[in-house]
Structure 1
Amino acid sequence: MSNQQGEKKIKLLEAMSIGIGGMVGGGIFAVLGLAVTLAEGGTPVAFLVAGIIALLTSYSYTKLSLAYPDKGGTVRFINEGFGKNIFSGGANNLLWICYVVMLSLYASAFGSYAPNLISITGDKGIDFHIAASFVIVFATLINYYSIKVVGQIESIAVVIKLIILVSFVGIGLYGLSGNVNLDQLNYSNWKTPFQVFSGGMVIFVAYEGFELIANAAPSIENPQKNIPRAYYYSVLFVIVLYILISIVTVGSLAFKEIAKAQDYVLAEAAKPMLGQVGFTVITVAALISTFSAINASLYGGSRVSYEISEDDELPHELTSQLWNQPVGLMITAVLTLVICNTIDLESISTSGSIGFLIVFALVNYVAFKRSKEVNGNKWIPMAGIFMTSIATIALIAEQFQTNKFGLAIALSIVLVSFLIEYFYKKSEAYRLNRMK
């Protein structure tokens, strides 16, 4: 097969590291405090519910990745299910903008953690906007310098952050016995079931990274066995990890302390166990994780824009090169700078969650529609459609009550994604008619 001529095959552990690295990027560092603020004692359940939706959707991704292995991943799946038209183009545009939103989330997390590390040395710390902007610019320069370096950084970062987070969980669970804050996990300290559910949806962005496995599917060794394992093992591992992290956090700090340190709560949660050393180690882990996530997602975002353009769903100029990289890389970086410096963390998280829930609902629909062709069970994708749809509605309802600005931003992003495609298709049709 031509695919095997000199192309390195990806083994199971490497495929799992793509999924785990995509999920445990900067998301957990960025949204953990937000999740606790919204769900309080029910935070572990909120992460479980969000994880179940991710797991259902991973079934659809598994079947579609086996049937249509393509570096375009989600873009290919949506085009297979809906054809190449205004709707599919709008959905793919939404995916690209969701990458930008995720990058903004990671940059916001970096900007929140970085001043704490500086202040440990006795300095006043640096401004949030300076730190967030710096990491975006620095990661963009690395992407232009060498894609190989991007991959090497991600490989090292995955190992470092997992060691630190697993250690945090192990030490944290050991230190929980007798902690007075452990009572916060009791049912009496949960928010309402609706608030717990919608809280899980606001932080759903912490799970979206498993879809990156789809882009690597053509290169995965022994795909019939390893593609399903890569999806399911990585999602299940992250569900357990997130639940344990949330248990340790809620059990270690009072709710008022969590609210005060919402943007860097994971580092604050290490203090009761390990003091300032723990705070510093988790801060370093957050900076490494968010930087590596930005590094990898910039490349991923530029590839999405390239694939959409190749499929004639955006102007072909996006397939052109700027300093040996797709021009979409620079556009992605500039948009990220604008969003992370103008929109608050909750609104960014809400926008990302709504966007990915919509995209995942569409992927589940494609798996349902093509269930015979992809040799899949139609009821699991149907459950995925139901859950992602209910989750989207619940999230919109919750944000309408608490964060109308964030909801307006999220819905505007969805609308703009489809409007861009509509006007592009109209302009192309007009141009072709003029040429006749």
Structure 2
Amino acid sequence: VLDYRAGDVPEAQQSIEEVGDEENAFLKFLRVSFVRYYLWLLFDAALVAGGLAAADAAARRLLRADLFGARDDDASAATKKDDPEDERPAANGRQWAPTLRFAFAFAGLVLVFYAALEVSYYFEAAYDDTDCVPKCPAVPGDLDAYDTLLVGDSVSGQYAAAAAALAAPNAKVYKADAYADGYCGTSYGLLACVDGWLGATNWSVVHFNWGLHDVAPRLYAEVTDYGGNLDALYGKIRSALGPNGTAIWATTTPVPPSYDPDLRTNADVISANAAAADLFGPTGKYPEVVVNDLYGHLVTNCEAYAATACYPETCDCARVQDDGVHLSSIGARFLGVAVAAAAARAAGGGGGAAADTAAAPDDPWWDAVAPWQYALLAQLVAAGAACFAARGARRRGKRLAPGDADDYTPLKQGVDPYYGSSRA
């Protein structure tokens, strides 16, 4: 990181490679496999099965302890005396057995779900820092046909299509997917992945933003590190610009107040934008960089309406931002206009007919699946397998004579009130 901050990119890359070479090959395989979910899914499934078994065992122990009167056969005997033909046990404490076992199993599943999710984040965030290059998305081979590059996260992906369609007639715009997931989705990963995109041609305009990933606590980059990463990023961009080329920095868009503060806060966005302002614009370290204030564009648009004048401090502005930090269709078109206008001014042209555009290739569907979705799928499979096995065991138990399992008869009758009777 220090090498990157000092602008010595080759030295930093060599350091990363040396760290990777020194690591034990088997441990690296385990680490990468965990991060890529393969071994982690097996671990998660085993954890779920174990958690369900432990919860069920705890429920069984409580039932055997007769806390709910499961062994109180007085009422049952009285009932049978009145009606000898009725072999059903009385509705005593055994009726709580299925509920208790289900409650314990559900609680165990919830606890295991969050425990597995924490393990996922631990491996993803703590051990992903030196392994970003292999995860970088592939760079298309025809980028030399384009002259304008948009670099950014998923928000930039929302306004890219509108920006490309509204670009100057001679503009050829490409949206780069120059980042990976997890830690490698922060500005650290962007530094590792952006080279292939920037080096593909001499760009006339590079419009870039990064920030919402860095202010997410799970992927966090300190503001000082974030500023250093942006400095290094601009060093790469500057070397990739053609003659009279222009770099445009776009400020990071707001986090609405309804967004979970444990995930992101707008205060962090303001700090990140302040760090970027020290670098880019008329008063920054690099005054030649044009600033496209997307944050200000959204705020100004929302302040024009009384109902959303409090955005982003105390109210949302669903007209332009209706999916957490992501844009609505109107918001995407609105920022697309702002981006196209900034790019056209930088290139010395005006807006006009639709440009020759291309969208970045779609990522495989499995790359869009979040860790918690993998976790939920693995746990559903594990829970289903556990329930299937338990059902089979219960059916096998029903085929035993009641005297063969006297110690478990109350438990089995708690699950199946007709166990051991002619109605079983």
Task: Report the TM-score, using the length of structure 1 for normalisation.
Answer: 0.25
Q: Which has the higher helix share?
A: 1
Q: Which has the larger radius of gyration?
A: 2
Which one scores higher on RCO, CA 8 angstroms, separation ≥ 6? Answer: 1
TM-score (norm 2): 0.25
